[in-house]
Chains A and B, each alone.
Chain A
Amino acid sequence: MPLIGSFALLLALALAAYSFIAGAMGLSRKDDRLVETARRAGIASWAAVTIAGVALVMAALGNDFSVSYIMHHSNRDLPIAYKFAALWSGQEGSLLFWAWLLSTYALVLRLRYKVDAMLFNYASVIIAAVQVFFFLLVNFAANPFGLVSGTIPADGNGLNPLLQYPEMVIHPPMLYLGYVGVTVPFAFALGALIMKYPGEKWIHITRRWTMVAWLFLTCGIFLGAHWAYEVLGWGGYWGWDPVENASLLPWLTMTAFLHSVMMQEKRGMMKMWNMWLIFTTFLLAIFGTFLTRSGVVSSVHAFAQSSIGTWFVWFLAIAFATCVFFFVRNRETLRSEHRLESLVSRESSFLFNNLVLLVSCFAVLWGTLFPVLSEAVTGSKVTVGPPFFNRVNVPIGIFLVLLTGVGPLLAWRKTSLDALQRNFAWPLAGGVLAGIVAFAFGFRQFYPLMCLILSVFVALTIFSEFYRGARVIAARENINLLSAIGELTMRNTRRYGGYVIHFGIVLIFIGITGSAFNKDAQAELSVGQSLKVGPYTLLCQNFDSTANDNYQSARATLEVFRNGKSEMMLYPERRFFPASGETETIVAIRTSPLRDLYVVYAGRSPQDGNPVIHAYLNPLVKWIWFGGIVVILGTGLALMPNRRTALVLSTVPEKSWGGAVPASAPTTGGVARGANADD
Chain B
Amino acid sequence: MISRRATLAMAILATLLCLAPFASAQQTARAKALGLRVKCMCGGCNDAAGACYHSGGEFSGPCEAALGMLKEIDQRVARNESDDEILKAFVKEYGPTVLMEPPKSGFDLTAWIMPVAVPLIAFIAVWEVVRRWRRRAALLPPAPDVPADLLARVHHEAGRDES
- Say whether A529 faces chain B, with CB atoms less than 8 Å apart: yes
Q: Which of B48, B103, B133, B137 contacts A385 (CB 8 A)?
A: B48
What's the nearest-Cβ distance from chain B to residue A40, in Å?
33
- Say whether B156 faces chain A, with CB atoms less than 8 Å apart: yes
- Say whether A492 faces chain B, with CB atoms less than 8 Å apart: yes
* B122 surroundings in chain A (CB, below 8 A): 355, 358-359
* B115 surroundings in chain A (CB, below 8 A): 362-363, 366-367, 392
- Say whether A195 faces chain B, with CB atoms less than 8 Å apart: no
- Say whether B78 faces chain A, with CB atoms less than 8 Å apart: no
Contact check, B126 vs A352: say whether CB atoms are below 8 A apart: yes
Interface size bracket, A side: 35 or more
Q: Which of A495, A582, A612 contacts B162 (CB 8 A)?
A: A495
A351 to B130 CA separation, bound complex (whole angstroms): 9
- Say whether A107 faces chain B, with CB atoms less than 8 Å apart: no
8 Å CB contacts to B: which residues of A624-645? Answer: 642, 645
- Say whether A435 faces chain B, with CB atoms less than 8 Å apart: no
8 Å CB contacts to A: which residues of B1-25? Answer: 11, 14-15, 18-19, 21-22
A266 to B63 CA separation, bound complex (whole angstroms): 58
Q: Which of B67, B119, B132, B156 contacts A645 (CB 8 A)?
A: B156
Contact A340 to B53, CB < 8 A, known contacts A492-B161, A677-B161: no
A343 to B127 CA separation, bound complex (whole angstroms): 9
- Say whether A592 faces chain B, with CB atoms less than 8 Å apart: no
* B136 surroundings in chain A (CB, below 8 A): 337-340
- Say whether B108 faces chain A, with CB atoms less than 8 Å apart: yes
A383 to B91 CA separation, bound complex (whole angstroms): 12
Q: What is the total of A-B residue contacts with beta carbons within 8 Å?
A: 213
Contact check, B160 vs A678: say whether CB atoms are below 8 A apart: yes
Contact check, B22 vs A523: say whether CB atoms are below 8 A apart: yes
8 Å CB contacts to A: which residues of B101-133? Answer: 101-103, 106-108, 111, 114-115, 118-119, 122-123, 126, 129-130, 132-133
Interface majority SS (helix, strand, loop, mixed), chain A? mixed
* A607 surroundings in chain B (CB, below 8 A): 21, 67
- Say whether B149 faces chain A, with CB atoms less than 8 Å apart: yes
Contact A673 to B152, CB < 8 A, known contacts A523-B18, A523-B22: yes
A312 to B119 CA separation, bound complex (whole angstroms): 29
- Say whether A387 faces chain B, with CB atoms less than 8 Å apart: yes
Contact A603 to B55, CB < 8 A, known contacts A383-B100, A671-B156: no
Contact check, A234 vs B55: say whether CB atoms are below 8 A apart: yes
Contact check, B149 vs A385: say whether CB atoms are below 8 A apart: no
A584 to B137 CA separation, bound complex (whole angstroms): 62
8 Å CB contacts to A: which residues of B24-79? Answer: 36-37, 39, 46-48, 51, 53, 55-61, 63-64, 67
Which of B46, B61, B102, B162 neighbours the largest number of chain A CB atoms within 10 Å of its CB?
B162
Query: 1/0 per position for A533-550, CB-CB distance to B under 8 A?
Result: 000010000000000000
* A298 surroundings in chain B (CB, below 8 A): 46
Contact check, A338 vs B133: say whether CB atoms are below 8 A apart: yes
Contact check, A610 vs B36: say whether CB atoms are below 8 A apart: no
Contact check, A671 vs B59: say whether CB atoms are below 8 A apart: no
Q: Which of A385, A537, A673 contacts B100 (CB 8 A)?
A: A385
What's the nearest-Cβ distance from chain A to residue B7, in Å?
9
* A342 surroundings in chain B (CB, below 8 A): 134
Q: Which of A348, A352, A383, A529 contacts B14 (CB 8 A)?
A: A529
Contact check, B60 vs A386: say whether CB atoms are below 8 A apart: no
Q: Which of A233, A351, A524, A574 contacts B126 (CB 8 A)?
A: A351
What's the nearest-Cβ distance from chain A to residue B1, in Å?
15
What's the nearest-Cβ distance from chain A to residue B24, in Å?
10
Contact check, B60 vs A604: say whether CB atoms are below 8 A apart: no
Contact check, B111 vs A585: say whether CB atoms are below 8 A apart: no
- Say whether A232 faces chain B, with CB atoms less than 8 Å apart: yes
Q: Which of A355, A370, A582, A610 contacts B21 (CB 8 A)?
A: A610
- Say whether B153 faces chain A, with CB atoms less than 8 Å apart: yes
A537 to B56 CA separation, bound complex (whole angstroms): 27
A614 to B22 CA separation, bound complex (whole angstroms): 11
Contact check, A679 vs B163: say whether CB atoms are below 8 A apart: yes
- Say whether A396 faces chain B, with CB atoms less than 8 Å apart: yes
Q: Which of B53, B129, B152 contacts A670 (CB 8 A)?
A: B152
A339 to B135 CA separation, bound complex (whole angstroms): 8
* A555 surroundings in chain B (CB, below 8 A): none
Contact surface of B with A, Cβ cutoff 8 Å? 11, 14-15, 18-19, 21-22, 36-37, 39, 46-48, 51, 53, 55-61, 63-64, 67, 95-103, 106-108, 111, 114-115, 118-119, 122-123, 126, 129-130, 132-134, 136-137, 140, 149, 152-153, 155-156, 160-163
Contact surface of A with B, Cβ cutoff 8 Å? 160-162, 232-234, 241, 262, 298-300, 337-343, 347-348, 351-352, 355, 358-359, 362-363, 366-367, 370, 374, 377-378, 380-388, 391-392, 396, 491-492, 494-495, 498, 521-526, 529-532, 537, 574, 582-585, 600, 602-608, 610, 612, 614, 642, 645, 647, 670-671, 673, 677-679
26 contacts between A and B (CB under 8 A): A234-B47, A262-B163, A340-B137, A351-B126, A358-B122, A362-B114, A363-B118, A378-B107, A380-B96, A381-B95, A382-B99, A384-B102, A385-B101, A521-B19, A604-B59, A605-B59, A606-B64, A607-B21, A607-B67, A670-B152, A671-B152, A671-B153, A673-B161, A678-B155, A678-B161, A679-B163
Give 7 new A-B contacts, CB below 8 A, not counting A355-B126, A614-B61: A234-B51, A340-B136, A359-B119, A530-B14, A582-B56, A600-B60, A677-B152
